[in-house]
Amino acid sequence: MKVELSIADDRELRQHIRDIIAGEVKGIARGEIKGIIAEVFSEKVLPKEDGIERLIREVIRDEVERVL
């Protein structure tokens, strides 16, 4: 018995696979960002509330630039 599956012919299957991959990538990114934020707060003195958002944005921007 031989079974062949062609993803190129199945638009719904391709979309489902893309959705699964996108979900996994987003999950990994969320975990990485949480880790980065935890690391920053453990290494630096906690800023005042208005500075926390700025610090988080800077760290995320720096990490995205490093990865890309």
What is Dmax (Cα atoms) for the chain? 68
d(CA 31, CA 26): 9
pTM: 0.44
Q: What is the C-alpha separation between 58 and 66, in angstroms, rounded?
A: 12
Contact 3, 22 (CB under 8 A): no
Query: 41 near 35, Cβ under 8 Å?
Result: no
Between CA 58 and CA 60 the distance in angstroms is: 6
**pLDDT digit string (tens) for 21-54?**
888 888 888 888 888 777 777 766 555 566 777 7
